[in-house]
Structure formats: structure tokens, C-alpha cells
Structure 1
Amino acid sequence: MIAVNLNVNIQGKGFPILCLHGHPGSASSMSVFTNHLSKRFQTIAPDLRGYGSSLTQQDFSMTDHLIDLEALLDRLEIEKCLVLGWSLGGIMAMELALKFPERVTGLILIATAARPRGNHPPISWQDNFYTGLASIVNRITPGWQWNIDNLGKRSLYRYLIQQHTPQAYQYLALEAMSAYLQTSTAATKALNQALQAGYNRLGDIQQIECPCLVLAGANDRHITPESSLETSQNLKDSQWRCYPNTAHLFPWEISEQVIRDIDHWLDEHPQLLLDVNIE
């Protein structure tokens, strides 16, 4: 498979942090991390193959993301980087660390797992109806409390977030909806095929030597906190934190706390940020 020339959003200067979005997602949906981290580092947020502006009509497999990311790092002449991944992006972050251990200095894994498991209830037509209506209204008037109380809390958003705040709904309006609309059928198919095949890298991630920070939401129904904890326990050098009263999109619920914890972990591991790429 030939690498796709990924669309990428680059901010800031300094040691590179590769920021990988989830499904559905795009580079812009990582702004909750990149807008802050780019004040000290260079953040590199690509649209993965089949997402955002890196669209493709051809079917592909999950391993093709690694081909694209290797080509991206080569194109940007990045020898080493830290990788932050959210959900699917966290899975790709672990895969990168396994395939290119010499290039990945550390991992920040958000709402993800090496053996992802969920406990999402069945989706009804009412769920889809309220989700569509809440999304349209929220897009027009982001964070409107009436919409949150009357439509949002009846929609599938109730499984994605626990704290139905205007801030969380502003992220949903400005970033989640466009990312959803720009996610290709091929990307959805590639992810579903991997999950249906029983994706499980627990036995392999023990080979990852670099320090890892694993963050989870206590009420995550998409990738359970138990599966995130299991991942942390199988990594050699890992810190795990679980946030109460949050779900899969917890960085949009408690963004200040998450960023503060990431900053603290980075400050505790200065060796991960020794810049070998910039003179």
C-alpha cells in the first residue's frame, strides 16, 4: 500500500508531539490539546487516512495508518517525537511505539485500550432522532442550555459525556459534528473490521519501553475504564488516572484538569522531550 499524503495541522515550535484523533475525528478535534501544548512544543495533528481532508474512496486496513504516519514523520524530518492519542488515536500511538520504538519517546493515551471493550447499550430510533436534532440545534446555537436539557440529555451524547456543560457542547458543535461528517465509509469499515477480528495487543505492549500516561473516564461506555486500566497494567512504565463523572469525551468535559495533569506528567519526565531534531 502506498502512503497517503496526510493533511496536517502544525502549531508551535520545540520538541514534536504527534497528536492522533479518534473515530470519528480530525486534526481540528485535537485542539483541546494542541492549542495548549503548542505554547511549549511543536504539535503535529494529522487527519488520518479516511478522515478530515485526508479522504480516500479506496478500502484500507488499520495498518495502513502506520504507513501514512511513518511517511509523515519522514516528510517532516522528525527523528523522535512524543505521541498523544485519543481513542483510535491511542491505539495508533501504541502501534507506532511497537513498530518504531526508536522514534517514540513517550505515550499519552486518552480513553483508549490495547484490548478495547465497550458496554454501550443498544441504540434506538429515538436515540438517533434526538441526537440528530440536538446536533443541528447545537450547531446553530452552541452550548444553548435549553437544547442541552431538552434534547442533548436524551440523545447519544448522554453516553459520550457525563457533564452536560456549555463548554462540552461548544466542542461538540465546533469540532465533533464536522469531524463526523468528514469521516469516510472506508475509515469506518477499516475500524469495524479490526474490532470484529478481536483486536488485542495486550501481550505485545509489554515490549513498549517508553513512559506512558493513561487517562480514562469513569463512565466511558465506548472504551471502558477497566480496559484502559488493563492496558496500563500491561505497560512497563505507566501512570493511570481515572476521572469520576466523565465519559469518552472527557477532555471536552474537564479540559483544564486534563491539561494540567498532562503538563505535570511532562514536567516529571523531561528526558522525553530532549530535542534531537532542532539545533
Structure 2
Amino acid sequence: MSDRHNHTTATPLNVYIQGQGFPILGLHGHPGTGRSLSVFTNHLSKRYQTFTPDLRGYGKSRYNGNFEMNDHLTDLEALLDRFKIEKCLVLGWSLGGILAMELALRLPKRVTGLILVGTAAKPRGSHPPITWQDNLYTGVAGLLNYIKPGWQWNIETFSKRSLFRYLIQQHTSTSYNYIASVAVPAYLQTSGAATRALYSAIESGYNRVPDLPQIQCPSLVLAGEQDRHITVDSSLETAQHLQNSQWQCYPNTAHLFPWEVPQLVLNDIDHWLEEHQQVIGSQ
């Protein structure tokens, strides 16, 4: 990848900034926006400064025309320069985790650590074929949940029979509140170009596992045991190939596990940060 002279082609990203202190860059998944990471940033911004951009083609970072996955990295490097962020910790969920690893490979001196959530350097899914009934129930469940978040009747009648059954295992009002307030608006704001960029990367057999040993910074790798979108095995493979990683898997959760067991996840992140003071600029 070529470096700084690419900046002319960078897209200025819409970014949400919270708190003060050492910078943490948060990267959302697909479909998603910077707001999708509120479960992390509302907590972390009490002690750190969190930057969560809408990636190119997502949320308010509108972009006309097609682009490639590498373009996200150009945008993110320009973002770090714009806010004069010399060093930062990067937290990435799903697609965001893939970009976090790419950023650590591209800018090793600037990325102090990685928190990788439901992601893998060679992502594999175990998603069963999707039926028309799945799509119908998901639409109904999503709409009803948007109107009345966490409504138990909707959860029992539609959600548990919809595609939500592959995204979450614990059908709690907490997880459905996040889906209503964050996931549905993000889905509606995701561009076709963003979807195409992601799928063309996956279809080309995306695999960064052989390059992971180059990443020297500490990493925390978190996974949901029943994740069908990016399997727990592919996340574990990533953790095993990173030089300095800690692995945590949450039973009875799926791809949206930070919304299912937020307190467990945040406690584990806090604990890891205490043990790895170097990632937040302290010795």
C-alpha cells in the first residue's frame, strides 16, 4: 500500500467524539455507523477520548461511486492526521476489527493496541441459507421492535424466528433496545457501494492470517460462542496468530454479543486496559 500521498483522495469522515484523555479510535461493522459503538464509547469516554467515525459510504459519511476496502484505510489515516492523533488504541467490531488489524499493519508506530470484537483476519461464516420467511419475519420483527423496543410478544412471535436468531442468543430488552436505536437507522444509511466493497473483498478470499505475526502491539480478542457471521473458530485462529493477544469467548451469545452482555464485555475491556497500561500511553 502506498502512504501519505494518497491523502488527496481521502474522504473527510463524519466523526463522533466523546470524553478527554488518551485517544481510542472505534471502527464500526457492516451495516453500522459510529453510533453503533455507543455501548463502548459511553463507558470508555469517562476516562479516554473516543473517536468513532462513520466509515466511507456509511451513516453521514456519504460517498458517490464505488470504492475498495483499502480506501477506508486512507480515510482513517487522514482522520488521525486531521485530529493530530500520533498514537491511539483501536477498537473494531466485525468489519471494523478487520480494518483495525489493517491499520496496525499499515501504521505500526501509531497503533498502540487492538480490541477486536466479533472479527477475524480470515473471516468465515456458518450462516444457514436464508429463506423468504426469514426475511419476512426479520422485517416485521425489526419494524415492531423499532416502534416498541424490547416488546416481549414481538420477540417471541417474530424475532426468535427471524434472522435476529443468528445475530443474538439472549433475546433481552437490552439487546433489542440497541437494535432499535442503533442498528435499524445504520442499516438504512448504508450505501450499496459500501456493501459491494465488503463483498468483493470477501469473495476474493480475504485472508490476513499469515501477516498477523507482524502486529506487535497487545490485542484483546473477544467473540460470541454462537456467532454465525464470523465464527468463533475464525476469531480464535486470529487470536492464536497475534503475538501478544488475550482471548475471551462469551457463551450463549452471537455476533451482537456486546449488546447482549454489555457489562461482562466492558468489565473485561477495563481489566485488560489495567493490565496493559502501555496501550493507553502510561507505563
Structure 2 partner of 1:175: 182
Which residue of the other structure, out of 27, 31, 48, is the alignment partner of 2:38? 31
Rounded Cα–Cα distance in structure 2 between residues aligned with 1:215 and 1:109: 6
Offset at residue 271 of structure 1 (A)? 1.2
Structure 2 partner of 1:260: 267
For the aligned residues, what is the CA RMSD? 0.7
Structure 1 partner of 2:162: 155
Structure 2 partner of 1:138: 145
Structure 2 partner of 1:236: 243
Asked whether 1:207 is paired with 2:214, we answer yes
Structure 2 partner of 1:102: 109
Rounded Cα–Cα distance in structure 1 between residues aligned with 2:279 and 2:263: 23
User: What secondary structure does 2:210 align onto?
Assistant: coil
Q: TM-score, normalised by structure 1?
A: 0.98
User: What secondary structure does 1:19 align onto?
Assistant: strand
Structure 1 counterpart of 2:90, which letter? V
User: What secondary structure does 1:222 align onto?
Assistant: coil
Asked whether 1:165 is paired with 2:172, we answer yes
User: What secondary structure does 1:203 align onto?
Assistant: helix
Asked whether 1:120 is paired with 2:117, we answer no
Deviations 1:37-95 (A, max 9, x none): 00000000000000000021210000000000000000000000000000000000000
User: What secondary structure does 2:170 align onto?
Assistant: coil
Q: Which runs of 4+ in 1 moved over 6 A?
A: none
Structure 2 partner of 1:93: 100
Offset at residue 274 of structure 1 (A)? 1.3
Structure 1 partner of 2:82: 75
Asked whether 1:129 is paired with 2:119, we answer no
Rounded Cα–Cα distance in structure 1 between residues aligned with 2:245 and 2:278: 15
Structure 2 counterpart of 1:28, which letter? R
Rounded Cα–Cα distance in structure 2 between residues aligned with 1:57 and 1:142: 33
Number of residue pairs aligned between Structure 1 and Structure 2: 275
Asked whether 1:274 is paired with 2:276, we answer no
Q: TM-score, normalised by structure 2?
A: 0.96
Rounded Cα–Cα distance in structure 2 between residues aligned with 1:109 and 1:272: 14
Rounded Cα–Cα distance in structure 1 between residues aligned with 2:31 and 2:153: 26
Structure 2 gaps of 5+ residues are: 1-5
Offset at residue 244 of structure 1 (A)? 0.3
User: What secondary structure does 2:269 align onto?
Assistant: helix
Asked whether 1:13 is paired with 2:13, we answer no
Offset at residue 30 of structure 1 (A)? 0.4
User: What secondary structure does 1:105 align onto?
Assistant: strand
Asked whether 1:250 is paired with 2:257, we answer yes
Structure 1 partner of 2:3: none
Structure 2 counterpart of 1:48, which letter? L
Rounded Cα–Cα distance in structure 2 between residues aligned with 1:180 and 1:38: 25
Offset at residue 265 of structure 1 (A)? 0.2
